[in-house]
Amino acid sequence: GENVEQHPSTLSVQEGDSAVIKCTYSDSASNYFPWYKQELGKGPQLIIDIRSNVGEKKDQRIAVTLNKTAKHFSLHITETQPEDSAVYFCAARGRDDKIIFGKGTRLHILP
């Protein structure tokens, strides 16, 4: 089945700087890659997703890139703000239609 690796597990960046989180997947048939943000005491919330027929997608300060050949995808957050502090999860949908999540990245925005 699908396996998703996510790095780093913890990331600290100065407010206003950019943050990058990287994920790799194993199933070459995977074609849907969502990213979720989880704040303390809440369930994960979808922030952006990308499908395999697209190489990049952007939504304001958030962008995701996908490299199908290398089987990796990344989340980019620019001009980080205090409210960006949270745990971020990447995920991939495998050929069996299951959504498999990475282990998460705890992002700290430093003042």
Partner 1 sequence: KAGVTQTPRYLIKTRGQQVTLSCSPISGHRSVSWYQQTPGQGLQFLFEYFSETQRNKGNFPGRFSGRQFSNSRSEMNVSTLELGDSALYLCASSLLGSANNEQFFGPGTRLTVL
Residues near partner 1, by CB under 8 A: 32, 34, 36, 41-46, 49, 89, 91, 93, 96-104
Shortest distance in whole angstroms from residue 64 CB to partner 1:
14
User: 36 with 43: CB under 8 angstroms?
Assistant: no
Which of 97, 106, 110 is closest to 8 using CA atoms? Answer: 106
79 vs 98, beta carbon nearer partner 1: 98
102 vs 109, beta carbon nearer partner 1: 102
Shortest distance in whole angstroms from residue 19 CB to partner 1:
19
27 vs 34, beta carbon nearer partner 1: 34
User: 100 with 91: CB under 8 angstroms?
Assistant: yes
Half-sphere exposure of 85 (CA within 13 A, CB side): 11
